[in-house]
Amino acid sequence: MTQAPERYMGNGIPRKEDPNLVTGKANWTDNIKLPGMVHMTMLRSPFARAKVTKLDVSAALERPGVVAAFTGADLAEEWPGGVPCAAVVTEEQKTPFFPPIVTDEVRHVGDVVAVVVASDRYAAQDALEFIEVDYEPLPAVVNMEDALKEGSPLVHEDFGTNECFTYTANVGNTDELFDRTDDPGDAGAEIRGPEVQGQGDTDEAFRRANVVIKERYIQQRLLPTAIEPRASVAYPDPGHDGYVIYTSTQVPHLAKIVISLATGIPENQIRVVAPDVGGGFGSKLNIYREEILAVVLAKRLGTPVKFVEDRSENYQATIHGRGQIQDVELAADSDGKILGMRVKLLDDMGAYLQLLTPVIAISGAAMFPGVYTFDAFSIEIKGVFTNLTPTDAYRGAGRPEACYAIERAMDSLARELDMDPAEIRRRNFYEPFDEPTANPAGLMYDSFNLQAALDRAVELADYQSLREEQRRRREANDPVQLGIGFSTYTEICGLGPSHALAGLGIGGGGWEVASVRMLVTGKVEVATGTSPHGQGHETSWSQIAADVLGVTPDDVEVLHGDTGTVPFGRDTYGSRSLAVGGIAVYHAANKVIEKGKKIAAHMLEAAEEDIEFEGGKFSVAGSPDQNVGIGDVAGAAYLGNDLPEGMEPTLNETMTFDPPNFTFPFGAHICVTEVDTETGAVKIRDYIAVDDCGPVINPTIVDGQLHGGLAQGIAQALYEGVIYDEEGNLLTASMVNYMIPGAPELPNYTLDRTVTPSPSNPLGVKGVGEAGTIGAPPAVINSVVDALSPMGIRHIDMPASPMRVWKAIQNAQGLQSGDRQEDASLGASAAGIKQGGDA
């Protein structure tokens, strides 16, 4: 009986989720069939901006199988709230009314003009062709800088501007650092890439800054591309007032509130279920017009309504990620110590504000200083409306953008000072700390030890040998050059303290709920407010509960994703689930043990303070033979006929955990590339990632999260990017030409970990879901630029496609021979806008 109990936390046990998924028994939303169910299909705008001058659905109604067809005017009274946005980032923010179906003007390709409901999806699709609609095309706003110019067409005429908001934050005096006269003089070298705007000026503050880096980076729009497209089934709840909606979402609990706000249906008459969900990556952290419409039509028609988007709709009408133009300035002394940073962002809202659109860039604003300590920081963010698909959260959501900017600028600084990129990072790291420490933007980082992570990465990469090989290839003029790129990053996880979210302008709390129930048979139910869609919460939460309760993970069933089963929750996004939701499970399970001790004391006729709990047994201190198993205690609690005086029956404890702070995982990545200078092709030869997300509950799942995040980060760096033409037509409208990478395009990863616990929660855990998408893009681009730097190449925009790399080489060679060329790969592709035919 003295045998140490098995501990499950820290073990990479195979997932409990898998059996259904590998055998085809998963319950995807599109699997759901209900009696009388009809299919809803949208008529979508082929124009980025146009007036709808004629709209008549009557001919469609005559088509076989068609049950109903509606215009926006027909249904407008059903959505008093429109599609809600939950973020207000400044008092002046302009928030347009966002109708599920437009009534006057279409504002992006894919905007919804009418809806058809038919017996099956084939009939619905056919009927769309019989809707009579005339458009009067209008000039579209497709470029953020043009959008802000006087006289630009307006996405929303009534605002009189395309500016959604301007957000500013200042810490320390960056103006003093940066303001300067036209002539940088001898005080320092100013780096001017081809993309620099050329408005530099210097004043006496330049005395402090020996070097100023001033660069423009583009965060291209990305398509999140969950492999399962969006799908919803809404139906009147049989036997109840109200509606049930099964929907492929990360946020059933938020959806319940938002659908109520949009439709006026009381919140307590809406039940939202997220069944198996085939990936989200932020794109399903939203409540879409189609979900609202499905409920509205289920109400109107009194029958189940299904919506399933196809991939082209997914690319036109599901949110896009990123979409920023970043002007970044970094001031440093001659030792490479950063003195200050100034950032100006243009952030592409698209045509409407989805759930969190305006807050994405804001949530990354304080992360621009990265893992470096300095005093002065300022940022200005302008949100800009365009006639493009709305943007919102995509894996990382604001932080990859920030990390890329600082990590690219650090490499430029190192190059300017002829300093090793690892060394310049070390010079600016925080000394290791384990108590909250303010960053230059005032954010309280929780615990860091960057030095250890970077040392380990350098060791794993065999860094000196790589530099040696690089030198040899350079000397031999090898057509294939070697690049070594660093990225030392942190991310903000564990969204989040409710007070901090309020500060960001996000409506709604950042807490999470868990209930742990010991059943009379000794089995355990854990109900969690998190809503997994691939992250393995059923497994990890079982491990946490099993360790606290002294049972096995197989004894634990994790319930999630149904507002009928788990009434309160704040769902899954922002790498919050473990650091908030997992901690709620931990606390609730401990509350079960605390109550169990009282019952055990009563059963064992001992004092409560003498009861110990270990290995699933309550025993009397010093008399281990006097014990009772947790199953028997649960049974007694359930029977309720012999409990301590005044105690409520059942072992059923709930915890709502609101964390005191965010968590800040960090790490050091090294990307080794081989760049074919003849073709522009980039091959990742090795990718080393040493990540620190605190103690790990399930290392197999953590590694999997890293693999997937790195893949998406590499994809942003090398492959993916939304392309629109000048009329606002989406050219990357299917997987044929939107370049999500396949197995041959991606490398294996060399992973390792350091462990620096967070002081923000009792397990010290931090979160890991977005580490890869944050750390990887700058590591890859730094590597490609490093390979080509002897040619004088300072920057290549993402995605660094073969053509872009080749163009950069061509331009560099042209510049070397005194032949000045415009680099079309820089800036021209701002937010993915194609400029002319021949890049």
Subset of residues 285 to 314 that bind other proteins, contact rule: CB under 8 A: 310-312
Q: Which residue in 161, 700, 729, 835 binds other proteins (CB under 8 A)? A: 700
Nearer to other proteins, 112 or 636 (CB): 112
Mask 182-221, x = binds other proteins (CB under 8 A)? ----------------------------------------
- 18 lines the binding site for other proteins (CB under 8 A): yes
Q: How far is the CB of 259 from other proteins (least distance, A)?
A: 24
Task: Give, to the nearest 10 degrees, the angle between helix 802-816 and helix 771-788.
Answer: 30
Identify which range of 454-462, 575-583, 637-645, 732-740 contacts other proteins by CB under 8 A.
732-740
Q: Which residue in 6, 7, 10, 19 binds other proteins (CB under 8 A)? A: 19
Q: How far is the CB of 563 from other proteins (least distance, A)?
A: 21
Q: How far is the CB of 42 from other proteins (least distance, A)?
A: 13
Looking only at residues 217 through 276 of this chain, which bind other proteins when binding is defined by CB under 8 A? 225-229, 276
Looking only at residues 756 through 785 of this chain, which bind other proteins when binding is defined by CB under 8 A? 772
Identify which range of 137-145, 400-408, 632-640, 706-714 contacts other proteins by CB under 8 A.
706-714
Nearer to other proteins, 590 or 810 (CB): 810
Q: What is the 3 state secondary structure string of 506-531? A: ECCCCCEEEEEEECCCCCEEEEECCC
- 707 lines the binding site for other proteins (CB under 8 A): yes
- CA distance linking residue 458 with residue 464, whole number of Å: 8
In the numeric block, which tokens belong to residue 666?
Answer: 């960090």
- With 0-12 / 13-18 / 19 or more C-beta atoms within 10 angstroms meaning exposed / middle / buried, residue 822 is exposed
Closest CA to 832 of 47, 218, 224: 218
Q: How far is the CB of 311 from other proteins (least distance, A)?
A: 5
369 Cβ partners below 8 Å, 6+ apart?
341, 377, 406, 439, 440, 441
Contact predicate 396/492, CB 8 Å: no
Nearer to other proteins, 20 or 181 (CB): 20
In the numeric block, which tokens belong to residue 139?
Answer: 């000039």
Give me the DSSP letters along 168-235. EEEES-HHHHH-B-S--TTT-PEEE-TT--S---B-GGGGT-SEEEEEEEEE--B----SSPPEEEEE
Looking only at residues 799 through 838 of this chain, which bind other proteins when binding is defined by CB under 8 A? 801-803, 806-807, 834, 837-838
Q: Which residue in 146, 741, 752, 791 binds other proteins (CB under 8 A)? A: 741
Q: Site size for other proteins, by CB under 8 A?
A: 81
Q: Which residue in 317, 588, 620, 711 binds other proteins (CB under 8 A)? A: 711
For residue 699, how many other CB atoms are within 10 A of its CB?
14
Contact predicate 55/116, CB 8 Å: no
Nearer to other proteins, 187 or 681 (CB): 681
Q: Which residue in 745, 759, 791, 835 binds other proteins (CB under 8 A)? A: 745
Q: What are phi and psi of 462, to 5 degrees?
A: 55, 60
- 736 lines the binding site for other proteins (CB under 8 A): yes
Give me the DSSP letters along 40-97. EEEEE-SSSSEEEEEEE-HHHHTSTTEEEEEEHHHHGGG-TT-S---B--STT-----
CA distances from 751 to 578, 710, 747, 768 (A): 21, 11, 12, 13
Closest CA to 305 of 38, 34, 71, 41: 38
Looking only at residues 784 through 803 of this chain, which bind other proteins when binding is defined by CB under 8 A? 801-803
Q: How far is the CB of 629 from other proteins (least distance, A)?
A: 31
Identify which range of 145-153, 368-376, 439-447, 735-743 contacts other proteins by CB under 8 A.
735-743
Q: How far is the CB of 236 from other proteins (least distance, A)?
A: 23
Q: How far is the CB of 331 from other proteins (least distance, A)?
A: 37
- 24 lines the binding site for other proteins (CB under 8 A): yes
- 59 lines the binding site for other proteins (CB under 8 A): no
- 15 lines the binding site for other proteins (CB under 8 A): yes
Nearer to other proteins, 114 or 588 (CB): 114
Buried b (16+ CB within 10 A) or exposed e, 299-319: bebebbbbbbbebebbbbbbb
Nearer to other proteins, 471 or 683 (CB): 683
Nearer to other proteins, 519 or 681 (CB): 681
Mask 511-550, x = binds other proteins (CB under 8 A)? ----------------------xxxx--------------
- 106 lines the binding site for other proteins (CB under 8 A): no
Contact predicate 221/391, CB 8 Å: yes
Looking only at residues 575 through 614 of this chain, which bind other proteins when binding is defined by CB under 8 A? none
Q: Which residue in 6, 36, 62, 122 binds other proteins (CB under 8 A)? A: 122
Q: Which residue in 5, 21, 564, 755 binds other proteins (CB under 8 A)? A: 21
Identify which range of 47-55, 116-124, 146-154, 173-181 contacts other proteins by CB under 8 A.
116-124
Looking only at residues 441 through 470 of this chain, which bind other proteins when binding is defined by CB under 8 A? none
Q: Is the dihedral of CA 316, 317, 321, 327 positive or negative?
A: positive
Nearer to other proteins, 430 or 719 (CB): 719
CA distances from 84 to 95, 99, 306 (A): 9, 9, 22
Q: Which residue in 708, 728, 775, 827 binds other proteins (CB under 8 A)? A: 708
- With 0-12 / 13-18 / 19 or more C-beta atoms within 10 angstroms meaning exposed / middle / buried, residue 509 is middle
Q: Which residues are 770's β-sheet partners?
A: none
Q: Which residue in 452, 604, 735, 815 binds other proteins (CB under 8 A)? A: 735
Q: What is the 3 state secondary structure string of 782-805? A: HHHHHHHHHHCCCCCCCCCCHHHH
CA 614 to chain centroid, in Å, comes to 39
Identify which range of 25-33, 152-160, 334-342, 347-355 contacts other proteins by CB under 8 A.
25-33
- 97 lines the binding site for other proteins (CB under 8 A): no
Mask 625-664, x = binds other proteins (CB under 8 A)? ----------------------------------------
- 476 lines the binding site for other proteins (CB under 8 A): no
Identify which range of 115-123, 155-163, 288-296, 565-573 contacts other proteins by CB under 8 A.
115-123
- CA distance linking residue 650 with residue 101, whole number of Å: 49
Q: What are phi and psi of 195, to 5 degrees?
A: -95, -5
Q: How far is the CB of 211 from other proteins (least distance, A)?
A: 35
> What's the helix, strand, coil split of the chain in %, to 5?
30, 25, 45
Give me the DSSP letters along 139-159. -----HHHHTSTT---SSGGG
Contact predicate 232/307, CB 8 Å: yes
Amino acid making up residue 346: L
In the numeric block, which tokens belong to residue 45?
Answer: 């705008």
